[in-house]
Amino acid sequence: MSAPTPPRPVALREENLGDLPADVAVPGYDRSALRPAIVHIGVGGFHRAHQAVYLDDLARTGETGWGLVGVGLRSPEMGQVMADQDRLYLLVERGDDADRARVVGVVDRYLFAPDDPEEVLRTLADEETRLVTLTITGTGYRIDPHTGEFDADDDDVRADLADPAAPRTVFGFLAEALNRRRRAGLVPFTVLSCDNVPDNGAAARTAVASFARLRDPELADWIEAEVAFPGSMVDRITPTTTPEERDAIAAATGVDDRWPVITEPFTQWIVEDSFCNGRPPLDRVGVQFVEDVAPYKAMKTRMLNASHCALAYLGILAGFSTIDEVLADDTFRAYLEHLMDDEIAPLLPPVPGVDLEDYRRSLVRRFSNPKMGDQLGRLGRRGSTKMPDYVFPSVSAAIEAGRPHQLLLLAVAGWMRFLRGYDYAGNDVPVSGPLSERLVELAREGLTEPEALLTERSVFGGLGDDAGFVAGVEVALRALEEQGPREVIALYLGLNVERDLDVELDVTDRADVATAGAAR
């Protein structure tokens, strides 16, 4: 007798919510009662796994005054899916023991800006809009990492300055909407960045005010005086949902969602308590409002994001595909633990209410979750912005404090080796992000001599002038050239491995490595 045919997944739409499987949590609130007080620009997987979920949690408490309007700037596909599914989507939390699925329903509208920029401007300028949140990626702010100034050398920026009523960029939309509110005598909205950039509140303020100053100095003065730009720290691992996973989720949950979101149970959102037009009561659902976000931000970017970078590049070179596979290797796991414990955590500022050892253990546990399958290729994207933001601050702090930082230098060398665009077997590895073509060219110029690459000041800044940094990176790069990443990690950690390590290092190099090992 053949097995019974499983029931067909239920299409995710408002009219079908009552037909979904009982173990799929659905919104218990009246979605028509939502008042859209928040506009989010840059709707992607992370926003749908993070900020939107907090707002959905808030609506489930009975607070419906903070509904959400999503705005997309580039990809029309999200809007098509959201329209077909009545702005509903499925969130799947993958824990160690079991998955948990829920339908998120807090999105009141979704607007694709290129299709109707005027409707986006009307929404932003509407008095009901009190908060605008952003996930536009770190490069989206166009802030020079060394000068801290806004880079206006861009065709879309010039177009927005020439025709403010038909903007293309996020700054064009925000400046024009704020100008309309100023002229109407309305209170401005708060602009809250949720991107992983250093001091994201200051970055958003600089970008918006600098753009506004190019079109109207009085508008810029008003923005700087009246608009709040709180900083924030966001954390939730959210892998890309592949078509295969989408089909598997439909089969497992009984819900047919064309673009579900996969995430982990852990979530964190810490926000500077600085708002100019009311504050959503998100503290009811776990958001922490604090006076200073900086120590939390430093902890997260230097521990989590820097570790992602280190494991992504070294792991890809070693032939791994996902981060949980990397951490199933004892040598890589030891590398991660020593990297965080010995070279990163000691240089962090005090973080109120956080035990860094507990935090480190939680990161190892989260990274090791095999049900997430977070792709190293995703973690390795945009290295030319991630390395300066996440890894180099710890390197610079270690140099200044005279502390060991060989494992950090190994992470830098791993990225440089990755930048050649091929692994040890000669297979292509994708290199993406700003300056990627130039960096690949420079990386291939200096196979074991990193000086050419280190002259790229837009990435390395003054680190390339530090003789100790240059020498340490050269040692690590030559070691990686002679041996695989796992063997070099073992050498740096002083571990016993099966293979005999015969790296061509001079006497000084060997002393440096030995000293680093002894320091641990």
**Distances in whole angstroms, Cα of residue 274 to Cα of each of 277, 279, 280, 290:** 10, 8, 12, 9
- Sheet with strand 190-193: strands edge to edge: 107-112, 67-72, 36-41, 131-134, 190-193
Give residue-wise pLDDT tens across range 284-340. 999 999 999 999 999 999 999 999 999 999 999 999 999 999 999 999 999 999 999
Secondary-structure percent of the chain, ordered helix, strand, coil, rounded to 5: 50, 10, 35
Q: Give the domain-ending residue among 237, 269, 290.
A: 290
pLDDT of 118 reads 97
Give the domain range for residue 106.
Answer: 10-290
Give residue-wise pLDDT tens across range 421-460. 988 888 888 898 888 889 998 888 866 678 889 989 889 9
pLDDT at 508 over 80: no
155 and 138 assigned to the same domain: yes
Residue 2 covered by a domain: no
CATH code assigned at 440? 1.10.1040.10
- Tell me the pLDDT of the chain averaged across its residues: 92
pLDDT of 520 reads 37
Q: Which of 141-150, 367-376, 434-443, 445-454 has the lowest mean pLDDT?
A: 445-454
Asked if 140 contacts 152 with a C-beta cutoff of 8 angstroms, the reply is no
Strand pairing partners for 91?
102, 261
Asked if 130 contacts 227 with a C-beta cutoff of 8 angstroms, the reply is no
Residue 354 covered by a domain: yes
Residue 4 covered by a domain: no
Indicate the number of domains in the chain: 2
Give residue-wise pLDDT tens across range 17-75. 999 999 999 999 999 999 999 999 999 999 999 999 999 999 999 999 999 999 999 88
Residue 476 covered by a domain: yes
Q: Give the domain-ending residue among 231, 260, 290.
A: 290
What single-letter amino acid sits at 37? A
299 and 285 assigned to the same domain: no
Q: What gap in Å lies between CA 407 and CA 337, rounded to an integer? A: 11
Q: What gap in Å lies between CA 171 and CA 164, rounded to an integer? A: 10
pLDDT of 139 reads 85
pLDDT at 506 over 60: no
Q: Closest Cα partner for 489 from 242, 288, 320?
A: 320
pLDDT of 447 reads 62
332 and 226 assigned to the same domain: no
Q: Give the domain-ending residue among 262, 290, 318.
A: 290
Residue 60 covered by a domain: yes
270 and 340 assigned to the same domain: no
317 and 262 assigned to the same domain: no
116 and 166 assigned to the same domain: yes
Mean pLDDT of the 187-209 span: 96
Residue 5 covered by a domain: no
Using CA atoms of 452, 454, 457, 463 in order, give the dihedral in degrees to the nearest 10: -150
213 and 161 assigned to the same domain: yes
140 and 189 assigned to the same domain: yes
268 and 374 assigned to the same domain: no
pLDDT at 382 over 70: yes
270 and 315 assigned to the same domain: no
- Mapping DSSP to helix (H, G, I), strand (E, B) and coil, where does residue 89 land? strand
346 and 277 assigned to the same domain: no
pLDDT at 504 over 70: no
Alpha helices in 254-405 (DSSP H): 294-299, 306-317, 323-327, 330-338, 356-367, 376-379, 383-386, 392-401
The percentage of the chain sitting over the pLDDT mark of 90, rounded to a whole number, equals 83
Residue 1 covered by a domain: no
Greater pLDDT, 263 or 506: 263
pLDDT at 509 over 80: no
CATH code assigned at 138? 3.40.50.720
Residue 170 covered by a domain: yes
364 and 419 assigned to the same domain: yes
